[in-house]
Amino acid sequence: MSSFERFDDMCDNRLKPKILRNLLSDYVPNEKQPLVDFQSLSKVVSTISTHKLLSEDQKLQAKSKSAVDEWVERFLALVSSDMPDKSWVGIVLMGVTCQECSSDRFFSSYSVWFNSLLSHIKNPESSRIIRVASCTSISDLLTRLSRFANTKKEAVSHAAKVILPIIKLMEEDSSEALWEGIVNLLSTIVILFPAAFHSSYDTVEEAIASKIFSAKTSSSLLKKLAHFLALLPKANKGDTASWSLMMQKLLISINVHLNNFFQGLEEETTGKKAMQRLAPPGRDAPLPLGGQNGILDDAAWNSEQLIVSRVSALMYCCSVMLTSSYKCKDSLLLLNIPVASLVSLVERVLGVNGSLPKAMSPFMTGIQQELVCAELPTLHSSALELLRTTIKSIRSQLLPYAASVVRLVSSYFKKCLLPELRIKLYTITKTLLKSMGLGMAMQLANEVVSNASVDLDPKTVQGSDVVSSTNPRAVLKAGSKKRKQSTNTGVEAENAAFEVGVPHNHSLKIAALEALETLLTTGGALRSDSWRERVDKLLMMTAGNACEGRWANAETYHHLPNKSTADLVEFQVAALRAFLASLVSPSRARPAYFAEGFELFQTGKSEGEMKVAGFCAHALMSLEVVIHPRALPLDGLPSLGDQFPESNSLASLKHNTPNLNNGDNLFKEWTANVDVPSNNEILRNVDSISPLQEAKRLKRGNDLATVDSLSGQDHTDIVGSENVQQADVRKKVPESPKESLGHVSERDDMVPEEVYRQVVSETREGEGLAVKDSIMEEAVVVKKRESLDESDDDSIPSLKADDYLSSDSDIES
């Protein structure tokens, strides 16, 4: 019936036991079956990891547990097999089980599994491949065991049992594969259980140092040995003194090697001064790295390549120590970093360029100089990396040594020609700018700009796509027709074998662009006219040259054996990123090449490769703030809240804020404060006006034209017309100041100019500046009407006899 069982989907937990049993029957051999294919193990491991076959689901506890039991029995039988290949398979599957099995099963079985693996390491008859697999599986077991908080003592005890056997194995066997497995296991132990090294610290240090100084060690293994040596101070006492002692040993060993390597290339006092700085008078110098056996024999000193490889490994060890975190009782240590010794070491290495001082010329042959010059770039690269990590580790605390570092970087820029080393210099420059900010930007700006200008010039790099143009906009015109017309005939004339269209390694240009971008980000606020204009133009030209004619056909370079499209794409992104920094960085005026940049980003968004198009879209979004700086949301603006404190919502602000473009609303706001009388009151006042006043009104001409259309306007227009009419109608001054006609306001006694002043005064108190602007517009109309008045300058006009008319019909109309 089980063959007819159906499952919900591929995630059905009932599938796990069946898949696990199928793997056992099809791919994992037993004691009697031969191992058919080693590659089948990769399928077994990936299937177990994907479906979590060893997790033992609680809902199907019986079926799941029985399937995992069969799995454990199978690999334990293979581990104890006398056949090396089957034993190797069992050890590998044990390591996988340590990672994937349930917590209960691991906790109940880890001790048995550990002893089984340790027996294979101690067994002298075990093959090399079994020992390597055992080291890897023990590392997996200890990593899983470190997650259990209640087994810390047992874990340290188990880890301590492994250290001495594998150190002995490292001394007896010269296989690099075995050394690599041992170093990986030691690194796992020193990270997870550093207390396990307390009784064997010196032995481990001597063993690792002897392998670093060994002539049989490859460069890749040297790097792993150096990395473990940098972590070893955690296992001594885990304090600052242990870290400082290891750093002092490393620096002494490096300078001892350099004394031999630089013999004849530098003054003899240079090495002595370096050693005196590391071991001041009155203090005992520490033992060499690795103890008494850390000094090399004379035969090993003869190879310049071995010396450089060891020195590079020791410098890498110093770099790891500077960038790794060290804890003591769950708190980070405040390390006493010997900055002066590190900077002087880098300065010593970079000061040797292979040239012979006059006094030392008789002591070195041409062959020796040739061998030294062949290894110097590697040594310089390691020294520059050590300087970068030193700056990165102390950041702004470099300030007391900043002058020395700036002088060192500037001087090496002038004599460094190799692209790999210049890339390192640009990286150091970026680290300096990010670590120390504006002050460092002021010191390094001219140096970075001048060197980047040379490295980004397409004419100076053979094999590049040369595009020269005096018109900045010309570089943005893409297309093959335009490229054929590019003015590169001068370069081709100088070199008949000059290749056009073949991409080259853009790593140096990318490094220069990133340095300029960091300079603009950090020091753009300096607004220096001495270099800013040059940088803006340089970045615009570089971005245009990088993308011209190659938006859509970057894929054409994928067929080249040593180059890939990714190199070109990374260069385009770096150029566009630096150009964007040029546009948005603070400057004294509007960006000079804003139009070119906007056009370039728009073209790249639609035509560029996916990564380039994505960045161009991001750039356009960043430039939106520069294009529309006033298009800001109105929510939460403090000015609106101050002017209209009674309302906090935008919906209510619509009712409180006058519409300055609508004359009707303007009259509403004005009449609300002016107390305009009603229509009946106005008619009653008009009836009481003397004929002399009526004659004056008719004499004004078109001032009363608006009264003719009162019947055809809405209510708002009526109020506005009445307001104008009331402002123009003059009434006689009563003999008593207390006299008044009807309900006419005291404001009617004023001339329009006085009305305007009072209204403006009230408006400032009630409505704010927005209404004031509207009233000022209306005041212009009032003043124009007043200009038509032919009366005297008195506040109340006097009327003459000839101003009277004999009829009131015009007024009634």
**pLDDT score at 415:** 93
**pLDDT score at 511:** 97
Segment 394-419 shows an average pLDDT of 94
**pLDDT score at 380:** 97
> Distances in Å between the alpha carbon of 199 and those of 164, 194, 230, 503?
10, 11, 19, 58
Measured distance CA(162)–CA(118) in Å, rounded: 7
Measured distance CA(382)–CA(424) in Å, rounded: 10
User: Does an H or E element contain 33, and which?
Assistant: none
* pLDDT at residue 729 tops 90: no
Q: 735 vs 4, which has greater pLDDT?
A: 4
551: confidence class by pLDDT, cuts 50, 70, 90: low
- Closest by CA position to 571, among listed 503, 518, 619: 503
* pLDDT at residue 180 tops 90: yes
Segment 454-479 shows an average pLDDT of 51
Measured distance CA(691)–CA(683) in Å, rounded: 15
**pLDDT score at 269:** 86
Measured distance CA(790)–CA(697) in Å, rounded: 11
Q: 225 vs 290, which has greater pLDDT?
A: 225
Which residues are registered as beta bridge partners of 201?
none
The tokens describing 443, both together, are 């010191």
- Closest by CA position to 603, among listed 563, 677, 549: 549
Q: 126 vs 566, which has greater pLDDT?
A: 126
The 10 Å Cβ neighbour count of residue 19 is 15
Measured distance CA(448)–CA(452) in Å, rounded: 6
Q: Find where tokens 């939106």 sit.
A: 624
What DSSP state is assigned to residue 82? Answer: S
* pLDDT at residue 120 tops 80: yes
550: confidence class by pLDDT, cuts 50, 70, 90: low
Q: What is the CA radius of gyration of the chain?
A: 44
Segment 769-795 shows an average pLDDT of 49
Phi, psi (5° rounding) for residue 332?
-70, 140
Q: Return the minimum-mean-pLDDT range out of 431-435, 578-582, 628-632, 804-808.
A: 804-808
Best-predicted range by mean pLDDT among 4-13, 420-429, 781-790?
A: 420-429
> Distances in Å between the alpha carbon of 44 and those of 37, 66, 333, 432?
12, 19, 44, 50
Question: At how many degrees (to 10) do helices 219-231 and 176-192 cross?
Answer: 20
Which residues are registered as beta bridge partners of 266?
263
- Closest by CA position to 32, among listed 70, 72, 113, 86: 86
Segment 445-469 shows an average pLDDT of 72
Segment 122-142 shows an average pLDDT of 95
Let me know if 160 is exposed, middle or buried by CB neighbors in 10 A (0-12, 13-18, 19+): middle
Segment 489-509 shows an average pLDDT of 59
136: confidence class by pLDDT, cuts 50, 70, 90: very high
- Closest by CA position to 573, among listed 598, 599, 541, 609: 609
Residue type, 414: K
CA atoms within 13 A on the CB side of 447: 22
* pLDDT at residue 775 tops 90: no
**pLDDT score at 181:** 95
**Who's near 485: CB < 8 A, 6+ residues apart?**
none
Are 17 and 60 in contact by the 8 Å Cβ rule? The answer is yes
Best-predicted range by mean pLDDT among 384-388, 396-400, 557-561?
A: 384-388
Q: What is the pTM of this model?
A: 0.73
> Distances in Å between the alpha carbon of 339 and those of 230, 348, 393?
17, 14, 10
> Distances in Å between the alpha carbon of 487 and those of 469, 474, 540, 779?
7, 11, 18, 65
* pLDDT at residue 751 tops 90: no
HEC secondary structure over 425-453: HHHHHHHHHHHHCHHHHHHHHHHHHHHHH
* pLDDT at residue 475 tops 90: no
The tokens describing 267, both together, are 């003054």
The 10 Å Cβ neighbour count of residue 393 is 19
Q: 628 vs 384, which has greater pLDDT?
A: 384
**pLDDT score at 292:** 52
Are 205 and 229 in contact by the 8 Å Cβ rule? The answer is yes
Measured distance CA(660)–CA(667) in Å, rounded: 11
User: Does an H or E element contain 646, and which?
Assistant: none
> For 628, left (φ over 0), alpha (ψ -120 to 50), or beta?
beta
* pLDDT at residue 137 tops 90: yes
How do residues 161-171 score in pLDDT, each as one tens digit?
999 999 999 98
**Who's near 510: CB < 8 A, 6+ residues apart?**
570, 571, 574
**pLDDT score at 351:** 93
42-72 burial code (b ≥16 CB/10 A, e <16): eebbeebeebebbbbeeeeeebbbebbeebb
Measured distance CA(224)–CA(391) in Å, rounded: 23
Phi, psi (5° rounding) for residue 147?
-80, -10
**pLDDT score at 408:** 96
Phi, psi (5° rounding) for residue 263?
-65, 120
How do residues 421-455 score in pLDDT, each as one tens digit?
999 999 999 999 999 998 999 999 999 999 999 99
Segment 573-580 shows an average pLDDT of 96
* pLDDT at residue 657 tops 80: no
Q: Find where tokens 């006493």 sit.
A: 336
The 10 Å Cβ neighbour count of residue 423 is 21
Measured distance CA(38)–CA(35) in Å, rounded: 7
Q: Find where tokens 């692209």 sit.
A: 419
Q: Return the minimum-mean-pLDDT range out of 162-171, 234-243, 706-715.
A: 706-715
Q: 284 vs 45, which has greater pLDDT?
A: 45
What DSSP state is assigned to residue 711? Answer: G
- Closest by CA position to 340, among listed 280, 276, 400: 400
355: confidence class by pLDDT, cuts 50, 70, 90: confident
Residue type, 614: G
The 10 Å Cβ neighbour count of residue 219 is 10
**pLDDT score at 466:** 35
Phi, psi (5° rounding) for residue 79?
-60, -40
252-273 burial code (b ≥16 CB/10 A, e <16): bbbbbbbbebbbbbbeeebbee
Segment 311-325 shows an average pLDDT of 93
Q: Find where tokens 């300058």 sit.
A: 793
* pLDDT at residue 694 tops 50: no
Percent of residues, the chain, with pLDDT higher than 70: 65
Residues 48-52: contacts with CB under 8 Å, at least 24 apart: 48/20, 48/23, 48/96, 48/100, 49/96, 49/100, 51/15, 51/16, 51/19, 52/16, 52/100
The tokens describing 521, both together, are 């980000």
Best-predicted range by mean pLDDT among 171-180, 297-306, 777-786?
A: 171-180
Cα-to-chain-centroid distance, residue 289: 39
> Distances in Å between the alpha carbon of 301 and those of 225, 258, 295, 656, 720?
20, 11, 10, 90, 105
Residue type, 392: K
Segment 40-68 shows an average pLDDT of 87
* pLDDT at residue 414 tops 90: yes
HEC secondary structure over 115-153: HHHHHHHHCCCCCHHHHHHHHHHHHHHHHHHCCCHHHHH
Are 15 and 55 in contact by the 8 Å Cβ rule? The answer is no
How do residues 72-84 score in pLDDT, each as one tens digit?
999 999 999 989 9
* pLDDT at residue 483 tops 70: no
Average pLDDT, whole number, for the chain? 76
Q: Return the minimum-mean-pLDDT range out of 182-186, 438-442, 671-675.
A: 671-675
Measured distance CA(594)–CA(127) in Å, rounded: 69
